[in-house]
Amino acid sequence: MDVRDIAQPRRGVAQDKPALVFHGRCYTYGELAAESARLARGLSRRLAPGELLALWLPNGPELLCLYLACLRSGIVPVPLHRDMAAPEAGAILRSSRARVLIASGSLLGAAQQAIAHDSLERIYVIGAPARAGCHDYEELRCEGGTIAVYRDSDDSTGFVLHTSGSDGRAKGVMLSWRNLNEILDLRLSQTGLGPDSVAVVASCLTQSVGLHQSLALLAAGGTLVLLEGYDIARMADAIHRYRPTHLIMVVNAFDRLLHHPAITAASLASVRFAAVGADRVTRRVQERHIALTGRPLHVSYGMSESSWAIVNLDGRSDKCLALGKPAPGVAIRLVDEQGLEVPPGATGEIQIRSPRTMPGYLHDPALTQAAFSDGWLRSGDLAWRDDEGYFWFAGRSKHIIVLGSGDNVSPVEIEQALLGHPGVARCLVAATTAAEDGSEVPRAFVVRTDTSLCAGELLDYLRPRLSAFKLPREIVFVEELPLGPTGKLASMRARRDTDAASGQLAAPGARR
């Protein structure tokens, strides 16, 4: 199936069938098709096919219908994460060069001046009174007339998703129509989605985890129960009310859901396919899922740049902590620092060749070139392969912290924000292990110029400058930071190094 056909009425799907449930309100397939057609007509008066449309919206029917309108019109959506701080959103808007932004009034707030730039010609606001320099979202909803689904080359860009880079800059991952169709085909073939499928989705639709599963479900003619976020009490209520057949989430969300007091074996009896998107799955999560359902969670490993690359769908308890084996149509190799493939049992960087791999990063040919090695996408993740062909996660070669929520955090970005405070002389941010679920979280070591500076004050300084999920879980004040032989700050990004060194850094006299 072509992903672009999701946006129009299709054979075999009754137009009065429930497509989306949000805040208890049911939207039918006919309603989604009609609304996406109105928006496609309105957007096409402002933007041409292939032009970029920035979207800064929380989960909801508006965001989903705008995606469908873009699929129909050929306009390329560039979604911004709902939790972004104004400087982060402004940086992406400038780098993407998008001319039009559609934003939620609650997210835009006082950020209008911070995100303004020369290329941004017009801002449409949803759910807020009219304000100077902005336009009402209702202007985009155009009745009457027909609009056919725009068919461009399959190699043209269909979506741009942003992910954090190791240098603190967000990277715009371009996904072609060919990529999107391959992603859709894989999801439909591997997950057993169909017209009777129901999925509860709490993942942010601006990221690949939430986006791809939602589009696949609508392509199958199923029902999407959409939540605003990972409020586990609300998720438990939705599971009991709507009896989902499919659940795909990140590790931290599954951990909290499976250990929620309201969740029992009966709660999950309707679930036919449950998968965790992660590089590592904790034993605690798998043991709890097995206790409740009699089988382990499926596992999927991938990146925004490649979607699912390695999957573990075998249901073997002895392999349930492994990443799995290459997904259909995917080739995986593990290479050492010299670029040579390593034998089974040896650790190497995961490199991916797949029809779902991006063609490159938006407006950044140098970064695109660095992301590939002889046509293989470099993941920056380390793994080893056992004798049965299963891949096992072994760490990271890049300085990226992947939270239990699935969000990527750049230590460099947090360090740059900390160094903006006049009381911070030097700092180092590294991954450490969260006691509650074993996931990675950022910890900051800070050398201060003012001994009266406290962690609470620093966090207050960071909040308007960073997304909430990027805030350090802990701030440790130290008298000095380790230096390498050349006098540069020694790298201690890896979690194992940080945990081992934290006692030394937080020596007597250190303050939290």
Please spell the DSSP secondary structure of 308-357, one letter per residue: EEEEE-S--GGGTTS-BEEPTT-EEEEE-TTSPBPPTTS-EEEEEE-TTS
Give the domain ranges of the chain: 1-14+29-152, 410-505
Round to whole Å and give the CA distance between 479 and 269: 55
The pLDDT of residue 299: 97
Q: In what order do the strands lie in the sheet with 122-126?
A: 76-79, 52-56, 100-104, 122-126, 135-136
| Predicted local confidence at residue 500, as pLDDT | 41
Q: Give, as one character, the DSSP assignment of residue 240.
A: H
Query: Domain 410-505 - what CATH class?
Result: alpha beta
Token pair, residue 476, equals 């440790």
Query: How far does the chain reach from its first CA to its final CA, in angstroms?
Result: 55
pLDDT at 308: 96
Amino acid symbol at 228: E
* pLDDT recorded at residue 184: 97
- Find residue 491's DSSP bridge partners: none
pLDDT of the chain, 512 residues: tens digit per residue = 899 999 887 777 899 999 999 999 999 999 999 999 999 999 999 999 999 999 999 999 999 999 999 999 999 999 999 988 888 899 999 999 999 999 999 899 878 888 887 789 999 999 876 677 889 999 999 988 778 889 888 999 999 999 876 566 789 999 999 999 999 999 999 999 999 999 999 999 999 999 999 999 999 999 999 999 999 999 999 999 999 999 999 888 898 999 999 999 999 999 999 999 877 788 888 999 999 999 999 999 999 999 999 999 999 999 999 999 999 999 999 999 889 999 999 989 999 999 999 999 999 999 999 999 999 999 998 899 999 999 998 877 777 788 877 777 878 788 888 988 989 988 888 888 887 777 788 999 999 988 999 999 999 999 999 989 899 999 999 988 875 443 445 544 433 344 444 444 443 344 45
pLDDT at 355: 97
Residues 6+ positions from 166 with CB-CB distance below 8 Å: 380, 398, 399, 400, 410, 412
Query: Which among 512, 431, 429, 425 has a CA at the least distance from the CA of 477?
Result: 512
Q: In whole angstroms, what is the distance from residue 306 CA to residue 372 CA? A: 12
Closest Cα to residue 114, out of 135, 130, 133?
133
The angle formed by the CA atoms of residues 79, 114 and 403, to the nearest 5 degrees, is 50
> Which residue type, as a one-letter code, is found at position 139?
E
The answer regarding whether domain 1-14+29-152 maps to CATH 3.30.460.10 reads no
Among residues 427, 461, 456, which one has the least CA distance to residue 444? Answer: 427
